[in-house]
Structure 1
Amino acid sequence: MSQLETDIKNLIIEALGLEDMGPDDIDSEQPLFGDGLGLDSVDALELGLAIQKRFGIKIDAEAKDTRTHFANVARLAAYVSASKAA
């Protein structure tokens, strides 16, 4: 697990108030929504805002591939890494 993935897992826990979880409880390939971690649309908004603030990137909520980027921690880490490099 990369440091960025760990940072994102910690951010998910902090931003969404999942105090009973630790980074090791979230699999990087586990879906964040639905049957995976169980996040909903409100969680997505809160997480998106937290990601933008923490990593200084812009997330276009209307972009068609935004859902793909938020599919799991691994994809979100790749998106953050690519956005910071751009």
Structure 2
Amino acid sequence: MPCADLAPQPHGIEHELATLLVEALNLEVAPAAIDPTAPLYGEGLGLDSIDILEVALEVSRRYGFQLRSDDANNQLIFESLRSLAAHVAQHRTL
């Protein structure tokens, strides 16, 4: 029997992160209702810089790596739930 690929699937991480966003930020939206391609910041989900900081802290705690405020790629990382999930999938240690 072939060995199953145990790497987390992006859609699974998208759901985990959508749940993290709702719980950490007390959003009044169901995780499944978050469009994975919609912007997180400003229009779209409507997060502000303080929200993004809270999300970064929660991601660090839950997935075992630091999202740094001085990272030149932050705009791309936090562009959407899908881009955040791809970054987490690539860098997670937990």
Give the TM-score, by structure 2 length.
Answer: 0.84
Runs of 4+ in structure 1 deviating by more than 3 angstroms, as ranges, are none
Of 33, 40, 46 in structure 2, the residue corresponding to residue 38 of structure 1 is 46
| Structure number with larger C-alpha Rg | 2
Question: Structure 1 regions of 5+ residues with no counterpart?
Answer: none
How many residue pairs match? The answer is 84
Q: Deviations over 1:31-79 (max 9, x none)?
A: 0011111000110111110111111111121011012101101000100
Distance 2:48 2:30 in 1: 19
Tell me the equivalent position of 2:85: 77
CA RMSD of aligned residues (A): 1.3
- State the TM-score, normalizing by the size of structure 1: 0.91
Matched with 2:62 is: 54
Deviation of 1:84 after TM superposition, in Å, equals 2.1
Letter aligned with residue 40 of structure 2: L
Aligned with 1:9 (options 2, 6, 18): 18
Q: 5+ residue gaps in structure 2?
A: 1-9
